[in-house]
Homo-oligomer: A and B are copies of this chain.
Amino acid sequence: MTMDLALVGIGKIARDQHIPALSRSPDFRLAAVASRNAELGGVASFRSLAELLEARPDIPAVSLATPPQVRFDDARRAILAGRHVMLEKPPGKTLSEVEELARLARARGVTLFATWHSRHAAAVGPARDWLAGREIRAVDIAWLEDVRQWHPGQEWIWQPGGLGVFDPGINALSVLSAILPDPVHLAEAELEFPENRATPIAARLVFSHPAGIPVTARFDWREAGPPRWQIVIDTDQGRAVLDRGGAVLRLGPRVLAEGPDSEYPALYARFAALIARSESEVDLSPMRHVADAFLIGRHVATARFDW
């Protein structure tokens, strides 16, 4: 059976991912949208979520694709109105506010789903399974892209709570914690801040692994040309590369797993399954790593950034 869903925030990620995924979803029907500036042809459009919730008590599920800095108030409002809520990543501006949303959802008896879309990339599950039987010797993440290409004009990424280069970087960290058998924690970090911006444009991270295996990461928004979203894992059976953001897993020249992009369809399928089971899923570990990086990271000033 199809459930009506309201989408909040009609920006780049909504148009690139949420709306196409919903148009093919066997579980949800896009019944209404809320956006300050945009409307969507053929779908009931509201100026705010408050108006939408008031006018449409019949819509049981809400998906929030607004920037993280403004997501808490809407999420709280929807939960208190008894709706199931799905959050784009990162799930909020602070860790504490997401903990609070999780508490409210429990108290109200609704589903809260904090999504990490990269975990649903085609080769992530196969990578986890393949690594489970191997001895891991080193892990190195390179998550390099051109901010002008991938976040054109998105001022919110440079504002406090926008995470800067950790906005893509957190995708890598969400994959890392999904494929490694053992948990890691941050040991050292260096963050490069453009002198005119409040969030970092690049970062280097060193993690501590219980077996002493080197685990490192480099995030950079100054990469010209095609992006590199890659996790390189040295094992006792050779070098595995989880590439293209998790879409393909290679061992040397051999492709072990590969598939089309179906991250957002997978998220909506999972949201429907969680609602059906009256469960929530709020894993804060990727965002905790990011907060830890800001907490212990050395700040380095770098050249100003202008679009």
Given contacts A103-B183, A185-B100, A291-B291, contact A94 B296 (CB under 8 A): yes
On whether the beta carbons of A183 and B96 are closer than 8 Å, the reply is yes
Contact A96 B160 (CB under 8 A): no
Which 4 A/B pairs are nearest by Cβ-Cβ distance?
A96-B185, A94-B292, A291-B291, A97-B185
In the complex, A167 has a CB within 8 A of chain B? no
Q: Which of B186, B188, B297 contacts A96 (CB 8 A)?
A: B186
| Also in contact, A96 and B285, with CB within 8 A (given A183-B103, A188-B160) | yes
User: In the bound complex, how far is the Cα of B291 from the Cα of A189, in angstroms?
Assistant: 14
Interface 0/1 of A268-296, CB less than 8 Å to B: 00000000000000000100111110111
Residue among A72, A183, A188, A292 with max Cβ neighbours from chain B (10 Å): A292
Given A99-B288, A288-B99: A185 and B94 within 8 A (CB)? yes
A191 to B125 CA separation, bound complex (whole angstroms): 41
Q: Give chain A interface residues in 94-145, CB to chain B under 8 Å.
A: 94-97, 99-100, 103
A interface with B by C-beta (< 8 Å): 72, 93-97, 99-100, 103, 160-161, 183-186, 188-189, 193, 198, 208, 285, 288-292, 294-299
Q: Which residues of B contact A186 (CB under 8 A)?
A: 94, 96-97
Q: Would you give the shortest CB distance from A9 to chain B, in whole angstroms?
A: 20
Task: Report chain B residues within 8 Å CB of A290.
Answer: 295
CB pair B96 A289 closer than 8 Å: yes
Question: 19 A-B pairs, CB-CB below 8 angstroms?
Answer: A72-B185, A94-B185, A94-B295, A95-B95, A95-B288, A95-B292, A95-B295, A96-B289, A99-B288, A100-B183, A103-B183, A160-B189, A160-B297, A193-B299, A198-B299, A288-B291, A291-B291, A294-B294, A294-B295
